[in-house]
Every structure is written in C-alpha cells, then in structure tokens.
Amino acid sequence: MPPLLKRQLQTDYNISSIDLSKQSTGLAYPKFFNWPQTIANRLASDDSIKLLVVFLGPNDPWDMPPDGGGRYLKFASEAWGTLYRARIASIIDNARQHNVSVIWIGPPNMRKQKLSQGMAYLNQLYREEAEKTGEIYLSVNDMFKYEKDIYSDYIGDGSSRVKLRAGDGIHFSLKGQQIIAQQVFSRIHLQKVDDVPDDVTDKNMVTPNETINAHP
C-alpha cells in the first residue's frame, strides 16, 4: 500500500513521502524493532512531515514481554492491553507534539479465525486511542465491506469477483492495496494553488507537504 500512496502523492501533487515499512514488525516486540522510537527519531529530524500513516497489527496478537523483562504478558489480558495502548499512545502523542496529523489504519478480518479475533481486539485499541486524541482511524473491514467477523478474498457485499486478498489470507492483492490507498488519500487535505496566499510562490503548496508511512 505505501508505494501506491507514495506514487499518487508524488504524481498528482508533487508531495514527497517517506516509506518506513519493515516486514514482520509491530508494537509487541520493541527489542526486535521499536516503532515508537523509530517514528520519534524521524519526526525529530524532519520538521517538514505533516502526516503520519500507521498500519500495524498482524504481527502482534501474541503474548509479549513486559518492559524491563519478566514473564510474558498474556495476549489480550489487562496488563497486555495497558502496555500496548501505551505504545500506540506514544506514537500519537509524539506526532502531535510535532504538529503531525495521524491516520491509523485498522487491519481487516483474517482467514484464520484466531488471527482474525486478534485483529478485532487490536482494532478496538487502535480506534479508541486514535479517537481519544481526535486523530483519524480507518477500518479496512469497512473499506472491504466485511460483515462482523466474516472473511472473504473478495469485496464483502459480493459486488465484484476481483480478489482483494493475497493467497495467505493476511496480505492484500494489488486491488486491495489500491482500495486502501484510495481511502487514505481521500482523507488527506490538499491545499490547491487557488487557496494559497498571494505572497506564496510555490504552486504545489499542500497540507500535508510530506507524509510518512509506518507499515509492517
């Protein structure tokens, strides 16, 4: 999804963006890859960034180690949820401190029931933390028109037989990526040249003028 969004922003509006995507990562194992710190470092080093797009989750619905070590926290337990929420909040709070807006994308239902149930739990955390601070939460389930916990390789309402999901029942086909990218793009306010003050000569002035994508 990030390459599609990057291309559209660059082609249509001459907006540069940064793709920090890293496979097999999430928020549960910061010793393997620390997203909050990675994003904080990037925002601190580049004040041109105005929007952060985050899409995490499928690598996270497992027991995880607490900060400082010790016995693993059981997935979806109160302690697990508290720690995971804190990591979501740290990303959002850091973005807000740098006047960066956030679009947080919630992953869709998965083919495997256990993984899908994990996504439902994580989506609740993502939605609540994003909405708590007035940031945007987008549900891929809504984009794909999935009903409740139903999984489909295709659009949920049966209106198309073009595959949206990859063969593993987790990732997305090109069409699925396009739908997500289009929905994200539709939420980005672009300031056209007609809206730019007369004393500004940059014909491509937009809000945001740079986007950063965080994606596993």
144-197 pLDDT, tens digit each: 999 999 999 999 999 999 999 999 999 999 999 999 999 999 998 776 545 544
* Residue 181: strand, helix, or coil: helix
Given this model, what pLDDT does residue 8 score? Answer: 86
Are 27 and 206 in contact by the 8 Å Cβ rule? The answer is no
Residue 178's nearest CA partner among 144, 216, 141, 207 is: 144
Given this model, what pLDDT does residue 201 score? Answer: 36
pTM of the prediction?
0.89
Amino acid 47 reads D
Given this model, what pLDDT does residue 211 score? Answer: 58
Q: Quick one: tokens of 15?
A: 């907006």
Those residues of the chain that have pLDDT short of 50 are 193, 196-209
CA distance to 108, 137, 199, per residue, from 36 (Å): 22, 18, 38
Given this model, what pLDDT does residue 115 score? Answer: 98
Residue 60's nearest CA partner among 172, 170, 211, 212 is: 170
* Residue 19: strand, helix, or coil: strand
Instruction: Determine the Cα–Cα distance for residues 23 and 214; give it in Å rounded to an integer.
Output: 11
Are 181 and 4 in contact by the 8 Å Cβ rule? The answer is yes
CATH 3.40.50.1110 fits 2-214, yes or no: yes
Residue 152's nearest CA partner among 110, 200, 185, 180 is: 110
